[in-house]
Amino acid sequence: MDVDNMYEGFSFENCLRNTRLAEKGLKAKPYNKTGTTIVGLMFKDGVVLGADTRATGGSTVLSKDCEKLHYLAPNMYCAGAGTAADMVMVGNMIAGQLNLHSLNTDRPPRVVTALTMLSHYLYKYQGYIGCHLIVGGWDITGPQLYSIDSLGHYNDDVYATMGSGMMAAKTVFDARFKLDMEMDDAIKLTADAVAAGILNDMGSGGTVNLCVITKDKTEYLDHYRTICSKGPRQGDYTVKPGTTSLISSDVIQVVSEAMET
């Protein structure tokens, strides 16, 4: 490897080619984005992270049940909006780095470590890695909640919303958030905020997934609330035996020889 000429960071080689192709009329494929509602809330004993489960590519819903709450560490999860592939890969990478760091330092990882790693990584790629994250967890310094955008800017706050449904969810939080809520109230408020995103934003849909992180445990509440269920089938469409009348039957013995290899 030629260390002097090694170029770190995003390789922009193909951008010129892509522009020329676009001029010739080549339309880029819509990549799988999570137009999303993700929320995070800090309450008395910890944090709650919430997300919807819809993944869109252009104006098609590509997945009705995709996972947007990514595991980073036993005491830390991140909710991600943006390009689905970027989210998963970055989540996995940071989880691995955190694990190594934790083994190296012989301590449970801190949320600010994940925050620093993510923020530096995303800044290096100048926003081309489309990850908008809410990182939350409980570490030795207490409950932590941060939001990071794809350019590497982060913000700490007691509640955060990101994704296309962020404004709908923020409306719910702005109206009803209080400091030091109890866990049940916090869970309900978070679910309501994601529900507001699901109902009022086209990029969000599906069910509400929550993750509650406290000092003692991390609870992943999968499909905590279903917003619109399909409803039971109105009719019975199974075909009963005897529906097709039997006119005649003929039994033919098929002789097969076992092949020896």
Report the residue number, 53 or 161, with the smaller CB distance to other proteins.
161
Applying CB under 8 A, the span of 42-50, 75-83, 88-96, 196-204 interacting with other proteins comes to 196-204
Q: Per rule CB under 8 A, is residue 213 in the interface with other proteins? A: no
181 residue type, one letter: M
Applying CB under 8 A, the span of 4-12, 139-147, 164-172, 246-254 interacting with other proteins comes to 164-172
Mark 78-97 as b/e (b = at least 16 C-beta within 10 Å).
bbbbbbbebbbebbeebbeb
- For residue 219, what are the β-bridge partners? 212
Least gap, CB of 175 to other proteins (angstroms) = 7
Question: What letter would DSSP give residue 260?
Answer: P
Element (H, E) at 194: helix 183-200
Question: What letter would DSSP give residue 226?
Answer: E
CB 48 within 8 A of CB 214: no
The angle subtended at Cα 186 by Cα 181 and Cα 192, nearest 5°, is 140
Least gap, CB of 81 to other proteins (angstroms) = 15
Q: Which of 19, 34, 36, 161 is catalytic?
A: 36
Is residue 218 among the annotated active site residues?
Answer: no
- For residue 142, what are the β-bridge partners? 139
Least gap, CB of 170 to other proteins (angstroms) = 7
Applying CB under 8 A, the span of 2-10, 124-132, 181-189, 192-200 interacting with other proteins comes to 192-200
CB 64 within 8 A of CB 196: no
Q: Which of 237, 235, 205, 210 is nearest to 222 (CA)?
A: 210
Report the residue number, 119 or 204, with the smaller CB distance to other proteins.
204
Least gap, CB of 187 to other proteins (angstroms) = 19
Least gap, CB of 210 to other proteins (angstroms) = 20
Q: Per rule CB under 8 A, is residue 170 in the interface with other proteins? A: yes
Q: Per rule CB under 8 A, is residue 62 in the interface with other proteins? A: no
Query: Reading across the β-sheet that carries 218-226, which strands appear in turn?
Result: 159-162, 38-42, 46-51, 207-214, 218-226
Q: Per rule CB under 8 A, is residue 199 in the interface with other proteins? A: yes
Q: Which residue has the tokens 């252009």?
A: 58
Per rule CB under 8 A, count of chain residues that contact other proteins: 9
Q: Per rule CB under 8 A, is residue 227 in the interface with other proteins? A: no
107 residue type, one letter: R
Q: Per rule CB under 8 A, is residue 171 in the interface with other proteins? A: yes
Applying CB under 8 A, the span of 24-32, 52-60, 148-156, 166-174 interacting with other proteins comes to 166-174
Contact set with other proteins (CB under 8 A): 167-168, 170-171, 174-175, 196, 199-200
